[in-house]
Amino acid sequence: MFIAGNWKMNGTVAEAEALAQALVDGLPEGAPATAVFPPALHLGAVGKVLEGSKIFMGGQDCSGAEKGAHTGDISVSMLADMGARGVIVGHSERRTDHGESDADVLAKVKAGLSAGLGVVLCVGETLEERDSGRAEAVVREQLGGSLPTDFPAGSVVIAYEPVWAIGTGKVATLSDIAAMHGMIRSWLQDNRPEIAKTFILYGGSVKASNAAEIFATDEVGGALVGGASLKSDDFLGIIAAAM
C-alpha cells in the first residue's frame, strides 16, 4: 500500500512544519509507504522535518521543460534539489486550472523520470463523462496519452481520481472503483508491461472513516488524499486503515 497526502495550496511554512512533525511523531511502526506533497515553497522546511523519517516528500507539479525561460515554473531538478523524491503530475486541478493536456502531462512524466523522481500520474473522468458512459474510455485515453513507452520499472504510480469526487465528499461506489482499477490494471498489462504491477491509488474524498473499505477493494493499492491529509489525526487514521 502507498498512502500519499496532497496538501495543495494551503497553510504557512510553520503550519507545514507542524503537520510534518505530527506525522513523523505519529507514524506507527509497520506503516505502509507514506508520502506528503507540500506546496513547493514549503518543501525545504518540510524536508528538514522529515529528514531521517520514513516519510517521502514530493512536489505537486513540475515543468515538462528542463530549465530556462519559463517564468514561475519549477523544474524537476529544482524539486530534487529541495529533497523531493517524487512528483504528482496530471492532477485534475492542473488540467482544469491550467489547461494541461495529456501531451503536457507526458512531458512532465518524462521530466520526473529523467530526474529519478517517483511519479504519481493522476487520471480520472468528469461527472459528465461518467454519466455519458465514457469514464473508462476517458481514463484509457489519459493513460495512453500521458505514459511514455519506455521508463524504468516501478517509478510510476497511477492515481485514479474521479474529478467529481475530489473535495466534494462524494466517493465513487466500491464497485465502480473496482471496475476502474481493474480496467487500469489490465490496460497496463497490455500496454505498459514495465509498470503492470505498480500501485493504483484511489483519490477523491478519502477519509479515515471510509478508507478501510476502499483499501479492501480489488486492485486498490492505496490512496491519494487531499483534504484529510491536512490534519495529522485524519491522515494517520487513513494510514492505520491501510495496515
Residues carrying an active site annotation: 91, 161
Question: Does residue number 241 form part of the binding site for ligand PGA (CB under 6 A)?
Answer: no
Q: How many residues contact ligand PGA, by CB under 6 A? A: 13
| Cell numbers given for 198 | 505498480
Q: Which residue is it, cell 461506489?
A: 173
**Of residues 65 and 237, the one with the C-beta less far from ligand PGA:** 237
Q: Cα separation of 156 and 206, whole Å?
A: 21
CB of 168 to ligand PGA, least distance (A): 7
CB of 189 to ligand PGA, least distance (A): 25
CA angle at 47 for the pair 41 and 52, rounded to the nearest 5°: 175
In 23-64, DSSP assigns E strands to 33-37, 55-59
Question: Does residue number 6 form part of the binding site for ligand PGA (CB under 6 A)?
Answer: yes
Question: Does residue number 100 form part of the binding site for ligand PGA (CB under 6 A)?
Answer: no
* DSSP annotation string for 123-175: E---HHHHHTT-HHHHHHHHHHHHS-S---TT-EEEEE--GGGTTTS----HH
Question: Does residue number 226 form part of the binding site for ligand PGA (CB under 6 A)?
Answer: yes
What would the x/- binding string for ligand PGA be over residues 178 to 217, using CB under 6 A? -------------------------xxxx-----------
- From candidates 100, 161, 219, 234, binder to ligand PGA by CB under 6 A: 161
**Of residues 206 and 242, the one with the C-beta less far from ligand PGA:** 206
Q: Cα separation of 23 and 41, whole Å?
A: 19
- Listed residue (236, 228, 130, 226) closest to 177, CA to CA: 130
Question: Does residue number 224 form part of the binding site for ligand PGA (CB under 6 A)?
Answer: yes
**Of residues 100 and 161, the one with the C-beta less far from ligand PGA:** 161
Query: Contact residues for ligand PGA (CB under 6 A)?
Result: 6, 161, 166-167, 203-206, 224-228
